């Protein structure tokens, strides 16, 4: 394969015309790879009335974007999405196919990998193409404590889904060339359809740069935690017991069954540090904990461990930070 | 008029479970009136349903198995046994609170209802002079083994016993006593669990088996024999053993200047009739000013954690916990002592919210403190 | 409209906190870890059992793994599965998700008469979540992922609730289909220990080899895989400073404010 002709396709996920941010992460990463070792990046965008959003994708790294529009593609549905993307792959034969490891991304990639009898690496946290043109990725496993270096050895396109939040979208390049492809979806022949969709605005604190986390030591009273978060422009998170007693929604529950934080700063107030919580603060750059207990388990996972009563420290802290 | 489905087989099962006492109930309603989680649990109605063999709608799951109602019952009806009989029926019909099912899985997979790793079971005993066989075998509650705060009570017990020159052993391969399994109404796994725990105990060849938790005490002493699992040595709650060591002079308690009150855990008090021994221990410590709470001994209030409630985390339980904490506060004691890990955990968790200035301790902890 | 076969793919996985990584040999020591039924597969099995309670049918588990999995597969039978199949063959060693989904799909096809296939959303050891859509493709049947509830509405049609970020979708899907079941969407029932004793004494686990599935050795295992593991590395959690600060609340607040300001800048 001639390096310059190498084609990397990136699936661009969208919903009601809003592009999924993690797809941009993959797009920029793909472009960084081709800038370094040659190739062309093509975004694959399915949706409804979406073509106007395609050019902008170039700024995030796409040389070109292929667009397919149909009302049924407005939100993800596995059958028509797999059929259309599969058809495009068959027609155009890209060398690599990447998608963000969102639920829909993994859904789509899992099916297509079998359709093309090709290798698919799952939620990689690092990605490159080696001198032999093979996709090499780092795949975390076993609860995140072990990483496997994996290579695609056969099949085309070589596929991988990319872990969310690992790479950053970069707006460095120029607008993309857009090709709108006609595809008539035979809706009556589909084996599935969406009859209802309920969605509310979620706070996604996995992307927050600063988070103040309330634990059971607050007794469910989040007043001080709220004031502190306002003072330093942070978002709020909670530990599981607080979500359990209904003081906060599960959207902002941190831990192995909740959100994994990627913040620069997390201030954890009144939480002892149970193992399932601690796995959610692994990727935080600086962890500050405030706890009455001189030996709470969270001490081992903190950069700064303040021994004290949060009800005495927080009001004073807020006061001093305001100045 | 409400329609009820009658099950004669259920009726005879409940009659047997209650030891025949359900027939004595004349529906006076003292039980419902005195129930600590009133108005949540319609005890009188449940007893009536039991008398005629009608199915329970799931109210039985709210019971704290504290037996406070049995003290007020003028006829001696074994109310909590009837309620457990209903739980067995509800379990067979797969109508069980999810939290309890999760506990059963955790005990099966990890040997404890917390789901903590098996290999960390004896971490609390690291650094202590314990043996794999000895005079006194300590059967530790899962909470004492894994909860960092409660480990302190277990360590205190070992240190006190060592000071008295007793050779202490701990169980390699110890599993949950199954109190929550028993309270969930599951019978067949409980049988296997009981038999496996007894074989682990047999390996230690103990002279006496000491439990930290009154729940473990009840399971090993009273419940296990019903499932064909007989303990290889006498089972005691640690307060019985320590009280004896004090009165016989083998332990000489030291000094602790504090005003102390004592909470009778339901499974130690009303379930096992052990009231004096914990008090003996506390009152032998010099400098302690002992004060009783308004409700004590058979009339003691519950911590809100019995009957599986500890694992279900209901809001009704917390009201019960708070009421008892308020009684403790009213004594103006600095320390509220007790002898059950569930009680300590329930009170300490509630203190995080009500923030009374009283400290909760295990009786053995203040004894150890005095021996320094 | 009683259901026919409800097939559940069942994986037995090592308990996550018991897995040890040997930094010298750079391998995962699975031998010392004890096993459990993959938690999401337990949810899938529970869903299958509830479907059987409502609509009839037979719940059959199918697993691809070594013979040591037998006791835990019998635990699934104790939970209520009607039958269980284990595909065990040396040639399967080293299979990535491509030959794994192929093997399971062949086994499911061999069982036949399936209306619904359920799978846990992903496995706790190296969970990729790729196998269920892959099986759907091999069998040429629709697939839906992250399913939390299924209802049969009429002959050959089901209504499925799928979890999405911030909410859910309701889809209508033609049967047969494969659904990957969301972890924690239900509470798996505790096994019936009387049935467990019967399963241990009397139940005969069916064991199939790749020959039974008409698969050649080159189609499975290392040879049949499209990816390969080059090496394993330990991913250590970040080294924390663990600086302990205590004292007077006013002083603490002052020091903490300084630290926070320096980070935010």
Rounded Cα gap, residues A46 and A175, in angstroms = 18
pLDDT in tens, A165-187: 889 999 999 999 999 999 999 99
Instruction: Answer whether residue A1 shows pLDDT above 60.
Output: no
Per the document, the length of chain A is 323
pLDDT in tens, A290-316: 998 888 889 989 999 999 989 899 999
> Which residues in chain C are contacts of A197 at CB distance < 8 A?
164, 167-170
Domain assignment present for residue C37? The answer is yes
Domain assignment present for residue C250? The answer is no
Contact C166 A305 (CB under 8 A): no
Alpha-carbon distance values, B229 to A24, A255, B198 (Å):
63, 41, 6
Every domain of chain A and the residues it spans = 3-189, 205-322
Q: What is the mean pLDDT of chain C?
A: 92
Alpha-carbon distance values, B127 to B124, B135, C124 (Å):
8, 19, 34
Task: List phi, psi (to 5°) of C64.
Answer: -120, 110
Domain assignment present for residue C200? The answer is yes
pLDDT for residue A85: 98
Domain assignment present for residue C234? The answer is no
Q: Which of A142, A194, A204 sits opposite C19 (nearest CB)?
A: A142
Alpha-carbon distance values, C255 to A133, C250, C261 (Å):
53, 9, 10
Instruction: Answer whether residue A235 shows pLDDT above 70.
Output: yes
Rounded Cα gap, residues B79 and B345, in angstroms = 26
User: Does residue A101 contact residue A161 with C-beta atoms inside 8 Å?
Assistant: yes
Per the document, the length of chain C is 265
Instruction: Give A244-300 as a DSSP string.
Output: HTTSS-GGGBBSTTSBPP--SEEEEES----HHHHGGGTT-SEEEEEES-TT-GGGG
pLDDT for residue A218: 87
Alpha-carbon distance values, C151 to B262, C116, C146, C172 (Å):
55, 11, 15, 10
Domain assignment present for residue C105? The answer is yes
Instruction: Give B246-309 as a DSSP string.
Output: HHTTSS---EEEEEEEE---TTTTTTT---HHHHHHHHTSEEEEEE--SS-GGGPPP-S-TTTH
Instruction: Answer whether residue A3 shows pLDDT above 70.
Output: no
Rounded Cα gap, residues C145 and C143, in angstroms = 7
Contact B148 A297 (CB under 8 A): yes
pLDDT for residue A279: 79
A153: Cβ–Cβ under 8 A, 6 or more apart, which residues? A119, A134, C225, C226, C227, C228
The CATH number of A205-322 is: 3.40.50.1220
User: Does residue C209 contact residue C87 with C-beta atoms inside 8 Å?
Assistant: yes
Q: What is the mean pLDDT of chain A?
A: 92
Domain assignment present for residue C151? The answer is yes
What residue ranges define each of the domains in chain B, with the CATH number in brackets? 8-92 (no CATH), 98-242 (3.40.50), 252-370 (3.40.50)
Domain assignment present for residue C141? The answer is yes
Contact C126 A210 (CB under 8 A): no
**Domain membership of residue C92 as a residue range:** 5-224
pLDDT in tens, A59-91: 999 999 999 999 999 999 999 999 999 999 999
A205-322 matches A3-189 in CATH topology: yes
ipTM, interface predicted TM-score of the complex = 0.91
Residue C65: is the preceding peptide bond cis (ω within 30°)? no
Contact C257 A143 (CB under 8 A): no
Rounded Cα gap, residues B54 and B67, in angstroms = 22
Instruction: Answer whether residue B1 shows pLDDT above 70.
Output: no
Residues forming a β-bridge with B34:
none
pLDDT in tens, C188-233: 999 999 999 999 999 999 999 999 999 999 999 999 999 999 998 8
* B147 close to C (CB below 8 A): no
Q: How far is C185 from chain B (nearest CA, A)?
A: 12
Lowest model confidence (mean pLDDT) among A141-145, B289-293, B331-335, C112-116: A141-145
State the pLDDT confidence band at C32, using cuts at 50, 70 and 90: low
State the pLDDT confidence band at C264, using cuts at 50, 70 and 90: confident
Instruction: Answer whether residue C127 shows pLDDT above 90.
Output: no
Contact A219 B313 (CB under 8 A): no
Instruction: Answer whether residue A204 shows pLDDT above 90.
Output: no
* B191 close to C (CB below 8 A): yes
> Which residues in chain A are contacts of B353 at CB distance < 8 A?
219-220
Q: What is the mean pLDDT of residues C99-121?
A: 97
Q: Does domain A3-189 have CATH number 3.30.390.30?
A: no
pTM of the full predicted structure? 0.90
Instruction: Give B147-165 as a DSSP string.
Output: -HHHHHHHHHHHHHHHHTT
pLDDT for residue B101: 96
Rounded Cα gap, residues A126 and B331, in angstroms = 63
Q: What is the mean pLDDT of chain B?
A: 93
Domain assignment present for residue C140? The answer is yes
State the pLDDT confidence band at A143, using cuts at 50, 70 and 90: low
pLDDT for residue C255: 92
Give chain C's domain count. 1
pLDDT in tens, C56-66: 999 999 999 99
Q: How far is A218 from chain B (nearest CA, A)?
A: 8
């Amino acid at each position: 394969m001639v390096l310059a002709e190498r084609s990397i396709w990136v699936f661009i996920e969208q919903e009601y015309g809003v592009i999924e941010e993690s797809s941009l992460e993959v797009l920029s990463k793909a472009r960084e790879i081709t800038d370094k070792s040659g190739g062309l990046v093509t975004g694959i965008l399915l949706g409804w009335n979406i073509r106007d959003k395609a050019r902008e994708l170039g700024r995030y790294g796409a040389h070109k974007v292929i667009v397919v529009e149909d009302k049924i593609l407005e939100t993800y549905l596995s059958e028509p999405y797999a059929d259309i993307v599969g058809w495009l792959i068959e027609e155009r034969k890209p060398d690599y196919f990447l998608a963000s490891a969102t639920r829909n991304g993994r859904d789509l990639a899992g099916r297509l990998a079998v359709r093309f009898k090709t290798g698919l690496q799952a939620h990689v946290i690092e990605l490159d193409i080696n001198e032999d043109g093979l996709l090499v990725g780092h795949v975390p496993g076993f609860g995140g404590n072990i990483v496997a270096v994996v290579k695609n050895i056969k099949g085309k396109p070589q596929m991988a889904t990319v872990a969310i939040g690992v790479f950053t979208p970069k707006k460095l390049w120029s607008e993309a060339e857009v090709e709108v492809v006609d595809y008539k979806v035979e809706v009556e022949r589909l084996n599935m359809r969406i009859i209802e969709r309920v969605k509310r605005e979620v706070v996604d604190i996995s992307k927050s740069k600063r988070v103040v986390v309330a634990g059971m030591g607050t007794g469910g009273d989040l007043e001080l935690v709220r004031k502190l978060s306002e003072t330093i422009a942070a978002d709020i998170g909670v530990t599981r017991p607080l979500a359990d007693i209904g003081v906060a929604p599960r959207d902002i529950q941190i831990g192995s069954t909740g959100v994994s934080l990627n913040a620069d700063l997390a201030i954890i107030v009144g939480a002892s540090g149970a193992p399932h919580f601690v796995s959610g603060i692994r990727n935080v750059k600086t962890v500050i904990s405030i706890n009455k207990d001189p030996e709470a388990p969270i001490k081992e996972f903190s950069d700064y461990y303040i021994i004290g009563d949060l009800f005495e420290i927080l009001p004073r802290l807020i006061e001093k930070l305001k100045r | 008029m409400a329609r009820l489905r009658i099950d004669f087989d259920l009726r005879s099962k409940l009659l047997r479970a209650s030891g025949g006492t359900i027939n004595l109930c004349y529906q006076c309603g003292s039980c419902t009136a005195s129930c600590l989680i009133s108005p949540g649990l319609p005890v009188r109605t449940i007893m009536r349903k039991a008398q005629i063999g009608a199915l329970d709608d799931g109210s039985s799951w709210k019971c704290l198995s504290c037996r406070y109602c049995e003290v007020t019952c003028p006829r001696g009806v074994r109310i909590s046994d009837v309620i457990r009989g209903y739980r067995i029926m509800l379990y067979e019909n797969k109508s069980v609170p999810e939290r309890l099912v999760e506990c059963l899985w955790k005990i099966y997979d990890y040997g404890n209802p917390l789901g903590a790793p098996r290999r960390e079971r004896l971490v609390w005993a690291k650094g202590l002079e314990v043996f794999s066989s000895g005079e006194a075998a300590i059967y530790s509650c899962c909470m004492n083994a894994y909860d960092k705060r409660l480990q302190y009570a277990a360590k205190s017990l070992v240190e006190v016993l060592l000071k008295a020159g007793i050779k202490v052993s701990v169980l390699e391969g110890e599993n949950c006593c199954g109190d929550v399994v028993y309270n969930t109404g599951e019978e067949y796994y409980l049988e296997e669990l009981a038999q496996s725990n007894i074989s682990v105990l047999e390996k230690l060849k103990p002279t006496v088996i000491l439990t930290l938790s009154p729940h473990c005490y009840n399971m090993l002493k009273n419940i296990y024999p019903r499932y064909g699992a007989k303990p290889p040595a006498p089972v005691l709650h640690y307060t019985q053993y320590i009280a004896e060591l004090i009165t016989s002079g083998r332990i000489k308690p030291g000094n602790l200047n504090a005003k102390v009150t004592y909470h009778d855990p339901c499974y130690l008090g009303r379930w096992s009739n052990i009231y004096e021994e914990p008090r003996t221990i506390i009152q032998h410590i010099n400098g302690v000013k002992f004060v009783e709470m308004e409700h004590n001994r058979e009339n003691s209030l519950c911590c809100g954690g019995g009957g599986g409630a500890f694992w279900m985390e209901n809001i009704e339980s917390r009201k019960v916990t708070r009421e008892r904490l308020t009684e403790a506060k009213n004594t103006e004691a600095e320390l509220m002592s007790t002898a059950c890990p569930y009680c300590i955990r329930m009170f300490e968790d509630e203190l995080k919210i009500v923030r009374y200035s009283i400290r909760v301790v295990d009786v053995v902890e203040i004894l150890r403190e005095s021996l320094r | 409209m009683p259901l026919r076969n409800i097939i559940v793919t069942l994986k037995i996985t090592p308990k996550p906190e018991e897995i040890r990584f040997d930094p010298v040999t750079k391998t995962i020591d699975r031998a010392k870890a004890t096993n459990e039924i993959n938690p999401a597969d337990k949810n899938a099995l529970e869903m299958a059992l509830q479907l059987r309670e409502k609509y009839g049918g037979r719940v059959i588990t199918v697993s691809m793994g070594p013979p040591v999995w037998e006791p835990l597969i019998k635990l699934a039978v104790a939970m209520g599965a009607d039958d269980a199949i284990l595909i065990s063959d040396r040639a399967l060693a080293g299979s990535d998700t491509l030959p794994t989904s192929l093997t399971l799909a062949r086994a499911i096809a061999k069982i036949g008469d399936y209306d619904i296939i359920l799978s846990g959303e992903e496995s706790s050891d190296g969970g990729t979540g790729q196998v269920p859509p892959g099986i759907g493709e091999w069998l040429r049947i629709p697939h839906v992922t992250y399913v939390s509830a299924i209802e049969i509405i009429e002959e050959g049609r089901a209504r499925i609730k799928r979890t999405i970020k911030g909410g859910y979708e309701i889809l209508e899907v033609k049967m047969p289909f494969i659904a990957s079941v969301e972890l924690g969407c239900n509470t798996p029932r505790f096994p019936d220990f009387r049935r467990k004793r019967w399963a241990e004494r009397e139940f005969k686990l069916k064991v199939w080899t790749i020959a039974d599935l008409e698969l050649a050795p080159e189609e499975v295992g290392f040879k049949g895989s499209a990816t390969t593991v080059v090496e394993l590395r330990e991913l250590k959690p970040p080294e924390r400073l663990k600086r302990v600060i205590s004292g007077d609340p006013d002083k603490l607040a002052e020091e903490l404010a300084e630290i926070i300001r320096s980070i935010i800048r």
